[in-house]
Amino acid sequence: MRARRSLIDLGDLSGGELNYVLDRAADFEDTEPAPLLRGVATVNLFFEQSTRTFTSFNFAELRLGAHVVNLAPGDMSLATKGETIEDTVLTLAAMGVRLLVVRHPEAGYVQRVAQAFDGHVVNAGDGAHAHPTQALLDLFTLREEFGALDGRTIAIVGDILHSRVAHSTIAGLHRLGANVVLVGPEFFLPSEYAQPGVTIARELDAVLGEADAIVLLRIQRERFAAMPMSDAEYTARYQLNGARLARLHERAIVMHPGPYNRGMELDDSVLEFAGWRYAKQVRNGVYVRMSILDFLVNGEASPNAR
Ligand code: ASP
């Protein structure tokens, strides 16, 4: 099979490919990988700040033996010398670059890069649009916990509208057959998000007893002008805290893509909760990124494939 070129959102993967990438991430967790990207010239182009995603792409690339260069906006001629992104990527291609990992504050920007670049492009987050590798690591973490996800109820809580993580993760959960419950006020969660398999709740208290997993989100204040309600009202209705943790069912877990804001979407008791899976998600992010990079570059026929 011919390798896929790029990953802009989860829709770029067929059902079989999605499962393949998730299964293979488990192999990377269990065994030391062969240098499957040996010498593949790779550039990470991050136009927006990132801690987890940037670092874990770097580790994933290095563990697979890629040659890696990191570029931030201030390093590039397009910032000050009028070079377009299209000309920038042509320049990188001329140096033999085959793989670009791109983050940008504008939705659609990574797609533009993919159209201009004759190689593989991975979306590391574009505006409020999509963050497919975060979705993959969320799905992977949930599968490790529960096995098959069909029939499981996953609640995603908070600022859905401005969250690229939510957009990609909702699509992934839906494809794997989970019941998705979105929780938030109208401003962060317009009614149009409801669809078969995806329901809406306006109060966190209403979903605590039924959720197998709760995915908390940061309020993406950088993406809108004014909070629709006071922080006090938000936390009263949507913060996961000790009292609410006590109402979760016994095997329920709590996840967060990070960065989390203590005192807003969660309080410190969540960080000590036995079902808090944040560190697991972060660790899984490296395996999942190894898996998707290997899949894009080598296809399913890569040397260590099952
Ligand atoms: N780190 C995630 C992202 O880049 C989530 C967040 O920023 O809240 O979208």
Q: Is 130 a pocket residue for ligand 1 (Cβ < 6 Å)?
A: no
Torsion of CA 126, 132, 135, 140, to 10 degrees: -150
In-domain check, residue 306: no
Structural domain count, the chain: 2
In-domain check, residue 61: yes
Max Cα–Cα distance, the chain, nearest Å: 58
Same domain, 108 and 199: no
Ligand 1, residues 109, 156, 165, 218: which to mutate, most atoms within 8 A of Cβ? 165
From the CA atom positions of the chain, what is the Rg in Å? Answer: 19
pTM, 2 dp? 0.96
- Ligand 1 centroid to Cα of residue 2, in Å, is 32
- Ligand 1 centroid to Cα of residue 282, in Å, is 12
- CATH number where 274 lies: 3.40.50.1370
- Could you tell me what percent of the chain has a pLDDT over 90? 92
Ligand 1, residues 126, 133, 134: which to mutate, most atoms within 8 A of Cβ? 134
pLDDT over threshold 50, residue 189: yes
Q: Which amino acid is at 45?
A: L
pLDDT over threshold 50, residue 2: no
Same domain, 28 and 82: yes
**18 lies in which domain range?**
10-130+285-298
pLDDT over threshold 90, residue 60: yes
User: 74: which 2 tokens?
Assistant: 């201030």
Same domain, 223 and 269: yes
pLDDT over threshold 50, residue 259: yes
Ligand 1, residues 137, 164, 266: which to mutate, most atoms within 8 A of Cβ? 164
Confidence of residue 301 (pLDDT cuts 50, 70, 90): low
DSSP string over 104-151? ESSTTHHHHHHHH-SSEEEEEEETTTB-HHHHHHHHHHHHHHHSS-TT
Same domain, 41 and 147: no
